[in-house]
Amino acid sequence: MDKVTPQMINALCAYTLDGEGRGELENETFSADLATVTITGVNIHPGLAHGRMVNAVRLAGQFLERMPWHRLAPETTAKRDGFLHPYIIEGGVPQVKIKILLRSFVTADLADEARVLQGIADTLRPSIPRPRSPWM
């Protein structure tokens, strides 16, 4: 429905009908948001990397490892439980982007889920190595 607006079909409102199985009809919906986590590293030739390279791929792994998969992941939640769902990761040593779907049946809970992600970033930030200049 992201391509069709109620105005395009001359309607006052529009509904999307969906269900989990044959003969079922959902009469409510969840709220969702998208977080894009961008991790910036420092790329340099591996032979000169000591004390200079910051590998964004490794940092992305650390970020994902700290996500609360045991309680806020689609694989571990059911029914009306909200979750955080990393579904795209792309990049390399200099930069990685992780797209994370935030979902909840209570719209206000999306802000709590965003704070979880911010908290992970805040705890990870002090452990990021500070590279010295490659021209030293």
Q: What is the pLDDT of residues 36-47, one digit of tens each?
A: 999 999 998 989
Nearest residue to 97 via CA among 35, 15, 38: 38
Least confident span in 15-29, 37-51, 79-93, 107-121: 15-29
Amino acid 8: pLDDT? 78
pLDDT in tens, 68-91: 988 888 898 888 888 999 999 999
Return mean pLDDT, the chain: 85
Side chain identity at 22, as an amino acid letter? R
- Give the pLDDT of residue 59: 95
pLDDT at 132 over 60: yes
The yes-or-no verdict on residue 135 having pLDDT over 60 is no
SS3 116: helix
Give domain 31-127's CATH number out of 3.40.50.2300, 3.40.50.300, 3.30.2350.10, 3.30.70.360. Answer: 3.30.70.360
DSSP code for 103: E
* Angle, vertex CA 57, rays to CA 53 and CA 61, nearest 5: 125
Residue 48 in this model has a pLDDT that exceeds 90:
no
